[in-house]
Structure 1
């Protein structure tokens, strides 16, 4: 399997230290999940990895939204909608994988595209706002 996330890239950085650190950890969780889904068939362990990613996703989104609120970002409500859509997609992919309806590569494709597009496109809008 070939993954899009080959290593951390400066293109993912927004210039907001708190968010950049969270994105780096988020990136590590996604790559670890990708490796473990590829190398382990232990379903309880895989479910635990999904739980870890889901909990961190929730933490990161709340943290990011609080920063947006504090800064008076006018795009906050729209960004929250995107976050909710992404969490729904994660939950759907997790369930489909656990039930055997999709393969690990499909889950990883979703997560990679989500991370790349959301970070470099949607989060960049906030970075431009906050960084002037």
Structure 2
């Protein structure tokens, strides 16, 4: 498993079309956020990017958890860890305690770990 997002990888695909499409968008959103945070010093704009990411993250998690509930997945997991981590990193960034790259690294590592490990378990349960 790679430890950085370099580009979309088949490794991130689960074989569940709805989730795969959402993960592809999530990947593009993280990539765009990384680019914009590195290239823009417009702080209000940077903050609005975090709002966009937070809203999409919430949508994706509700959607994913609904699929898990509908299928009777016994390992239904909460996504609070990412939400808490994202909020913490966002606040630290806004207060000037961490750099944008640290937020991006957190998001990249979370995406890889969650998609390749946690969501893979769900895909195996659904697909068999």
Gaps (5+ residues) in structure 1?
none
CA distance in 2 between counterparts of 1:3 and 1:121 reads 13
Once superposed, what is the RMSD of the aligned Cα atoms? 2.4
Aligned partners of 2:12 and 2:77: how far apart in 1? Answer: 22
1:6 CA drift (Å): 1.5
Task: Count matched residues.
Answer: 128
What is the deviation of 1:5? 1.3
Partners of 2:68 and 2:122 within 8 A in 1: yes
Instruction: Please give the per-residue CA displacement for 1:53-89, whole angstroms capped at 9, x wherever unaligned.
Output: 000000000000000000000011466xxxx011000
Q: TM-score, normalised by structure 2?
A: 0.95
Q: CA deviation at 1:36?
A: 0.5
Runs of 4+ in 1 over 6 A off after TM superposition: none
Question: Is the partner of 2:119 in helix, strand or coil?
Answer: helix
- Report the Cα distance in structure 2 between the residues aligned to 1:32 and 1:86, rounded to whole angstroms: 19
The equivalent of 1:27 in structure 2 is 27
TM-score by length of 1: 0.93
Aligned-partner Cα distance in 1 for 2:91–2:36? 17
Residues 77, 9 of structure 1: alpha-carbon distance in 2 compared, 3 angstrom cutoff: closer
Is the 8 Å Cα contact of residues 3 and 112 (structure 2) preserved in structure 1? no
1:62-120: per-residue Cα shift (whole Å, max 9, x none)? 000000000000011466xxxx0110000000000011000011001100000000000
Gaps of 5+ in 2: none
Conservation of the 8 A alpha-carbon contact between 1:3 and 1:109: no
